[in-house]
């Protein structure tokens, strides 16, 4: 089921497929979906929810799989892949495509105010903490700490965003 706010800006060149299995794809107001973004129900019954003020740039692919939640005011650069599903492959006597999918690792959760660099791949079970940054070309699996700066394949922490102290009011 598609639930797209009339205040969302979606390029006519984006491709958002409706689910035949009942997955919900929900896009809030103020979301920008650029050209050649693909949201595809595949690999599981998970929902995709994209919150207010988030931008998904050109060429990104989001598979519903075990679910993808993207918080408020996130910036997703071009050509990122959200792969919230994994193929089974253990039986060498059967083609991989006949082995279906592995159990869920929890889907993908991107908390508020996250910046994801171009060509990043985010895997099932990843949780990107509030305010974190992911460098271009990274592979994300597991949990990234809030306000951390992460790069690499797999990602490693290379710094922390500085949180400015609050000014006292008179």
Query: What pLDDT shows up at residue 163?
Result: 65
The pLDDT of residue 143 = 97
Establish if 170 belongs to a structural domain: no
Cis, peptide link before residue 139, omega less than 30° from 0: no
Q: 167 in a domain, yes or no? A: no
**Residue 73: predicted pLDDT:** 98
**What band does 4 get if pLDDT is binned at 50, 70 and 90?**
very high
Number of domains the chain contains: 1
User: Quick one: pLDDT band at residue 170, thresholds 50, 70, 90?
Assistant: low
% of the chain with per-residue pLDDT over 70: 98
93 found inside a domain? yes
CA distance 153 to 22: 33
Of residues 23 and 117, more confidence is placed in 117
Is 169 part of a structural domain of the chain? no
pLDDT tens-digit map of 57-66? 999 999 998 9
User: Tokens 């009942």 identify what position?
Assistant: 22
The stretch 69-86 carries a mean pLDDT of 96
| Residue 96, SS3 per DSSP | helix
CATH code, domain with 118: 2.160.10.10
Contact yes or no for 122/80 (Cβ under 8 A):
yes
Rounded Cα distance, 135 and 154, in Å: 11
**CA 141/CA 44 separation, integer angstroms:** 19
């Amino acid at each position: 089921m598609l639930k797209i706010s009339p205040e969302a800006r979606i390029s006519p060149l984006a491709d958002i497929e409706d689910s035949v299995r009942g997955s919900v794809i929900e896009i809030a107001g103020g979301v920008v979906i650029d050209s050649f973004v693909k949201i595809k129900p595949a690999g599981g019954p998970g929902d995709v929810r994209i919150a207010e003020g988030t931008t998904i740039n050109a060429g990104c692919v989001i598979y519903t799989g075990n679910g993808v939640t993207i918080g408020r005011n996130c910036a997703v650069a071009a050509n990122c892949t959200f792969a919230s599903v994994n193929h089974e492959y253990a039986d060498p006597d059967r083609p991989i495509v006949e082995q279906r999918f592995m159990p869920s690792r929890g889907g993908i959760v991107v908390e508020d105010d996250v910046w994801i660099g171009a060509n990043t791949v985010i895997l099932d079970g990843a949780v990107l903490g509030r305010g974190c940054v992911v460098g271009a070309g990274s592979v994300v699996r597991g949990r990234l700490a809030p306000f951390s700066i992460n790069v690499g394949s797999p990602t490693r922490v290379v710094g922390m965003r500085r949180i400015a102290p609050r000014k006292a009011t008179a």
